[in-house]
Amino acid sequence: MDILFVRHGESEGNAQERMQGLSDYPLTDRGREQARRLSVWLDAHGLSWERLYASPLKRAWVTAEVLAGDRGGTPHPEPDLREIHAGALEGLTFEEIAARHPRYAERRITELGDFAEFGGESYESVQSRARGLRERLEVAHRNTGDRVVLVGHGGLNYQLLKMLVCEPVPRVNIVRMGNCSATLVRMRERRGSYMGELVWHVPVELMGGTSGEGAARLFR
């Protein structure tokens, strides 16, 4: 089974540098252009798939619609691809977070990914959600040789990616997933373990587009 991770195109929340989480921001014009660039790039490299799953949040769903529509298909909704719930931090810029919730702004990188303190998802809950999604994908596609596409978000995609390629799963393993980046993981049996190999990771800039992002902040 091959898994192609896609992060959504630029959203209005991205453009305003806001913590999004479950807040349902739509794509910007740049975000739609990024999705089209990605679609053209995948086609030019002969990358097809058997199934395309997408987060139901608008920024991911519309990105998936562009990819699927160009090929005469439709995305399949997967609620567990939704972004990590950031609780009271959602909708705030980093400066607003620093003013209202300095504890989060001061966290070390090893403490990120857990939003329980702010009314959002805990790290353990996110890991459980990612494991459940992985298990369902394996049941459906493990022995088929399928390529599946997961159109989601920087936070959840990152957690799922490191779960597939690392054993044991580290708390931190930095991979920058910019808007409309594409990441291919090949799942194979390896000495009794079913693990992934990171084959390639391509940002939208190498597809002829522009990211529009400044300094990246995790789980924005």
Residue showing tokens 């808007």: 179
Residue from 8, 85, 141, 153 carrying the catalytic annotation: 8
45-71: burial string, b at 16+ Cβ within 10 Å, e else: eeeebebbbbbebbbbbbbbbbbbeee
Q: With beta carbons less than 8 A apart as the criterion, state whether 204 and 6 touch.
A: no
Least Cα distance to 112 among 166, 22, 169, 174 occurs for: 174
Q: With beta carbons less than 8 A apart as the criterion, state whether 5 and 208 touch.
A: no
- H-run or E-run covering 187: strand 182-190
Q: With beta carbons less than 8 A apart as the criterion, state whether 37 and 60 touch.
A: no
Residue from 10, 83, 90, 121 carrying the catalytic annotation: 83
**CB neighbourhood size of 16 (10 A):** 12
214: left (phi over 0), alpha (psi -120 to 50) or beta: beta
| Catalytic annotation present for 83 | yes
Q: How far apart are CA 156 and CA 217, in angstroms?
A: 14
Q: Which residues are catalytic?
A: 8, 83
